[in-house]
Copies of this chain bind each other. A is one copy, B any other.
Amino acid sequence: MDSMHILTQTFQVPYQYNVYFTKELFSKENQLLADFFKKEQRENYLGKALIVIDEGFLAFHPRLPAAIQAYFQSLQEIVTLIPEWVIVPGGERVKNDPAYWEEVVEAVDRFAIDRHSYLIAIGGGAVLDMAGYAAAVSHRGVRHIRIPTTVLSQNDSGVGVKNSVNYKGKKNFLGTFVPPVAVINDGDFLTTLDDRDWRSGISEALKVALIKDVAFFEWIEAHAQRLAERDPEAMAYLVPRCADMHLHHIRSGDPFEFGSSRPLDFGHWAAHKLEYLTQFEIRHGEAVAIGIALDSIYSMKKGLIAEADVKRILQVFHVLGFELFHPKLAEQNKINLITGLQEFREHLGGRLTIMLLEALGKGVEVHEMDDDLIRESVDYLKTAQVATYEL
């Protein structure tokens, strides 16, 4: 063998997981989770399950612990439920404070959760992101089941392959691409959401609709009033359809994002920045609605779409009950907002890549954004918002 040469390593790693849509997940009659554990059972091995749960969600579901315990009681030959749960706050602070992440890692260690045992996270997107990251790096990855409890996490973040925590004020700075082994969406969990969280997740559905599927946009447009009135059937259509589009995008593209393109981040450069500028006073989905509105207006100012299209977009958000302007957008002659572009590029890596619209239902990527046009778009948004409320 020559001492100056090259060995080329090539392989593919296969992933498969199901996203389930159900109701009354932990009722005795619902065999979904029991069937999952049975299917996954390994010879001569009794797995464990550790639960990480959102305390806000738990407060709205006080009978859940007893139901879950009873459910696992009947599965004790197959999987052992760790009786001590890790209870964490929901929202961004669970990603901001490393103590929560460490609490999960410590529990994985203390209860000897191994690579073939389960870490089950129950909560909104932030809890799933944090717990998923802890699961992904403990023992180089324990099996992670996600049970999203919000519209946003059931139709978007919870069904995907990413996890993360924030680090020194940088959103999602630490994280991995590691798919869960299952995602289980219980429609009943959405009924206890407050109005802001109910509404907030719909903006991600509008996002995928606007860049990929005009028919879905028109469905949302036609059902906006029913969605605003919290019609569960409308939501039961919206969530799986949005999740399906998200899953399709992941498998047909670049699942672990080795390239620079991130089409599903339409509206997100401004959204991420605005979340920080408001110190997370506005929620992710609310920020995304504003980001989508802003980049839609920008698309119009670039001559890509008509003003009539923009008006339809703003009108849907309006009917859904979103506020589309926040004073932080305009602060410091919009400079604070515009620095978000550079931070977004840095987080994605490579060349700046921003998704705009060239039609309703059709996105287009650009590699430059004009600061003055962004400023004009913010001004347009401010005026439009006032005008909308005056209708």
| Residue A85 at the chain B interface, CB threshold 8 Å | no
Please measure, in the bound complex, the distance between the C-alpha atom of A244 and the C-alpha atom of B3, giving whole angstroms. Answer: 13
Indicate if the CB atoms of B44 and A367 lie closer than 8 Å.
yes
**Smallest CB separation, A329 vs chain B (Å):** 25
**Smallest CB separation, A27 vs chain B (Å):** 13
Indicate if the CB atoms of A12 and B14 lie closer than 8 Å.
yes
Chain B residues lying within 8 Å of A247, measured Cβ to Cβ, are: 7, 9
Chain B residues lying within 8 Å of A174, measured Cβ to Cβ, are: 105, 137-138
| Residue A267 at the chain B interface, CB threshold 8 Å | no
| Residue A90 at the chain B interface, CB threshold 8 Å | no
| 9-residue interface stretch from A15-23, A52-60, A307-315, A318-326 | A15-23
Indicate if the CB atoms of B16 and A8 lie closer than 8 Å.
yes
Please measure, in the bound complex, the distance between the C-alpha atom of A241 and the C-alpha atom of B5, giving whole angstroms. Answer: 11
- Given the contacts A1-B237, A140-B172, A176-B176, A18 and B8 also touching, CB distance less than 8 Å: yes
A33-47: CB near B (< 8 Å → 1, else 0) gives 000000000111100
A236: nearest residue on chain B (CB-CB)? B3
A235: nearest residue on chain B (CB-CB)? B3
**Smallest CB separation, A10 vs chain B (Å):** 5
A237: nearest residue on chain B (CB-CB)? B1
**Smallest CB separation, A8 vs chain B (Å):** 5
| Residue A348 at the chain B interface, CB threshold 8 Å | yes
**Smallest CB separation, A346 vs chain B (Å):** 5
Which of A7, A12, A187 gathers most chain B CB within 10 Å?
A7
- Given the contacts A4-B23, A142-B349, A251-B9, A168 and B109 also touching, CB distance less than 8 Å: yes
A120-137: CB near B (< 8 Å → 1, else 0) gives 000000000000010011
| Residue A276 at the chain B interface, CB threshold 8 Å | no
Indicate if the CB atoms of B109 and A176 lie closer than 8 Å.
no
Indicate if the CB atoms of A114 and B4 lie closer than 8 Å.
no
- Given the contacts A44-B351, A45-B350, A109-B173, A13 and B13 also touching, CB distance less than 8 Å: yes
Please measure, in the bound complex, the distance between the C-alpha atom of A33 and the C-alpha atom of B179, giving whole angstroms. Answer: 33
Q: For A116, give its contact among B15, B43, B164, B349 (CB under 8 Å).
A: B349
Q: For A11, give its contact among B115, B137, B167, B255 (CB under 8 Å).
A: B255
Indicate if the CB atoms of A10 and B42 lie closer than 8 Å.
no
- Given the contacts A44-B367, A350-B42, A12 and B9 also touching, CB distance less than 8 Å: no
Indicate if the CB atoms of A141 and B7 lie closer than 8 Å.
no
A143: nearest residue on chain B (CB-CB)? B349
Chain B residues lying within 8 Å of A150, measured Cβ to Cβ, are: none
Chain B residues lying within 8 Å of A350, measured Cβ to Cβ, are: 42, 45, 114-116
**Smallest CB separation, A305 vs chain B (Å):** 26
| Residue A202 at the chain B interface, CB threshold 8 Å | no
Please measure, in the bound complex, the distance between the C-alpha atom of A22 and the C-alpha atom of B5, giving whole angstroms. Answer: 7
| Residue A61 at the chain B interface, CB threshold 8 Å | no
Q: Which chain A residues (94-123) contact chain B, with CB distance < 8 Å?
A: 105, 109, 112, 114-117
